[in-house]
Amino acid sequence: MNEIRVAEGNERAVAPALLRAEAASATGILVGLAMAKLLMQFAGIRQYGFFRDELYYLACGEHLAWGYVDQPPLIALVAWLARHLFGNSLISIRLFPALAGAAVVFLTGVLARELGGGRFAQFLAAAGILLAPAYLAFDSFLSMNAFEPLFWLVCAWIAVRIVKGASPKWWLAFGAIAGVGLENKHTMLVFGFALVAGLILAGQGRMLGSKWIWLGVAIALGIFLPNLLWEARHGWPQIEVVRNARLYKNLPVSPLRFLADQVAFLQPLALPVWLAGVIWLCVRREGRRFQFLGWAWLIVLGAFMILSGKSYYALPVYPLVMAAGGAAVESLAQSRDRRWLRTACPALLAVGGLAALPFGVPVLPVQAFLQYSQALPYATMAKTERDAVQVELPQLYADMFGWENMAATVAGVYHDLPAAERADCAILAGNYGEAGAIDYYGPALGLPKALSGHNSYFDWGPRGYSGGCVIVFGERSSEFITYFEDVQRVATIASAHAMPVEQRLPVYLCRKPRAPLAVLWPRFKMII
């Protein structure tokens, strides 16, 4: 009897040690995948140039405020921090997005663990996000889209812990993360609604009776309040941006195309994993406890389809169902006749992910990419705006070409002017990408800051210029030159791989304005 008792005691002592060892091993795997993510991002980080929106966010970082016409304030603060901490290079500006992407890979595996998944489940879930071309794409440049999945994922992880019995005080942390997420992108509201509705539909609405969840809501609103007040003071410009983009800029997307894009963005061979996760959350006994995540996924998709959102707007919700997919496949693979899944699923992810890699990270020179893209559909799937259908490259890559050449061409015109005239010569760009290119590359070329009527650039005004001499180029330039009596075409900006609106741009030297520039300024306004 004593021997039996000793053996039983040893088993009880060994079991926690084995669990700790397995957890440590799984954590090591997740760290390795996160490091692989960084290596993949850095492999193409300098292949092309700045993305259009990056130049705009850098300009916003020079005008820190509680809001901007087309986004909350966090991205401008991140741009400001990146410049002041790491410098002004492509690598410096893109470091934070790459780190956020690596964190999402790691935490997707952690969420799979929280859902009950073992080492294989965590590996498969993290690998699914690691090799998703859309995640690679959005983590390749500075934008709100690189950080949004991180906020959604951390909030989901907190909700899962609370459902499993953790202290409801965790709702305070949820509120803080959600509040910062709202300062990053307003679509955090969609996820918050989807999560709450998911809890109700999953029969866990009683959780909403906790005082801690409402204190969490108060914290989120408190963090969001400065941006909300800014929006109110400025006439809710974000609503106007969304409305105008839907009418004049974005490509209409049918529900069927929206769903097809989801498959392409995650890469088609990953579909069995995350779809298994949705099914596991809905019908499997061990997954139904977390059914609210499945409802949240469905509500997010439905909301963006109903609101005519771009198909990539739903991307931040996929780490949730990918984590569930890891747990689902692991559960299926426990049966002896299904153990082949442990090899087949990672192999499918690897084959599909590596094939789609050049569409997420610009690892190939442009001509090599154009040849490679003929065989795969991602170049067309990634086009979300009307102008993008006219170029060979995916919109993401086309918007990385031409900016430095643009600034150099304008600098040539500017420095050909007499010194006395240069002192009051403004540079007027048609959109924020063009203006951002002047602002970023201009200091090294001896250029002043640019003017533009596009979005927040309009709020920064004519900077005291009289309008007696204005270099005009870019979008809407054919309209702008009509405000001057003396107009000369002095140069052409040629960029072969850029978006259509940036190819073969005329540059005009304009004098004798029909009114002072401050009076004309409202005519330059463009909110889209």
34 Cβ contact partners less than 8 Å away, ≥ 6 residues apart: 102, 103, 105, 106, 126
Together in a domain, 167 and 234: yes
Joined tokens for residue 480? 């702008």
- Structure-token match 């049966």, residue found: 335
Are both 355 and 412 inside the same structural domain?
no
Residue 195 resides in a domain = yes
Length of the chain equals 528
Last residue of some domain: 327, 352, 372?
372
Amino acid identity for residue 343 in this structure:
T
- Please check whether residues 314 and 357 belong to one and the same domain: yes
Please, are residues 128 and 349 in contact by the beta-carbon 8 Å criterion? yes
**Are 407 and 367 in the same domain?**
no
Give the residue ranges of DSSP H helices in 44-131.
Answer: 52-60, 74-86, 90-114, 119-130
Residue 424 resides in a domain: yes
Residue 213 shares a structural domain with residue 315: yes
pLDDT at 379: 55
Note down pLDDT in tens along the chain; length 528 residues: 444 443 444 445 456 776 677 778 889 999 999 999 999 999 999 999 999 999 999 999 999 999 999 999 999 999 999 999 999 999 999 999 999 999 999 999 999 999 999 999 999 999 999 999 999 999 999 999 999 999 999 999 999 999 999 999 999 999 999 999 999 999 999 999 999 999 999 999 999 999 999 999 999 999 999 999 999 999 999 999 988 888 877 778 889 999 999 999 999 999 999 999 999 999 888 889 999 999 999 999 999 999 888 899 999 999 999 999 999 999 999 988 899 999 999 999 999 999 999 999 999 999 999 999 888 766 555 566 656 555 678 889 999 999 999 999 999 999 999 999 999 999 999 999 999 999 999 999 999 999 999 999 999 999 999 999 999 999 999 999 999 999 999 999 998 899 888 989 999 999 999 999 999 999 999 999
Any domain includes 301: yes
Tell me, what's the pLDDT at 251?
Answer: 77
pLDDT value of position 367: 92
Sort 508 into a burial class: Cβ within 10 Å, 0-12 / 13-18 / 19+.
Answer: buried
The answer to whether residue 209 sits within a structural domain is: yes
Q: Do residues 169 and 237 share a domain? A: yes
- In three-state secondary structure terms, 124 is helix
Whether residues 158 and 297 share a domain: the answer is: yes
What span, in angstroms and rounded, lies between the C-alpha atoms of 292 and 436? 42
Cβ neighbours, 10 Å, residue 462: 20
Assigned domain for 395 exists: no
Any domain includes 355: yes
Residues 234 and 351 in one domain: yes
230: helix, strand or coil: helix
| DSSP secondary structure string for all residues of 443-500 | HHHTPPPPEE-BTHHHHTTTTT--SSEEEEESTTHHHHGGGEEEEEEEEEE--TTS-G
Last residue of a domain, one of 349, 372, 395: 372
Same domain, 209 and 334: yes
**What is the predicted pLDDT for the residue at 2?**
43
**3-state SS of the chain: helix, strand, coil percent to 5?**
70, 5, 25
Count of the separate structural domains present in the chain:
2
Q: Residue 386 and residue 388: Cα distance in Å, rounded?
A: 5
The answer as to whether 393 is a domain residue is no
Residues 473, 355 within the same domain: no
Distance CA 125, CA 117 (A): 10
* 343 & 407 share domain: no
> Do residues 296 and 433 share a domain?
no
Is the pTM higher than 0.75? The answer reads yes
Does residue 332 form part of some domain? yes
pLDDT of residue 76: 98
Query: What is the Rg, in whole angstroms, of the alpha carbon atoms belonging to the chain?
Result: 26
Domain that holds residue 497: 403-524
Domain boundary among 372, 394, 429: 372
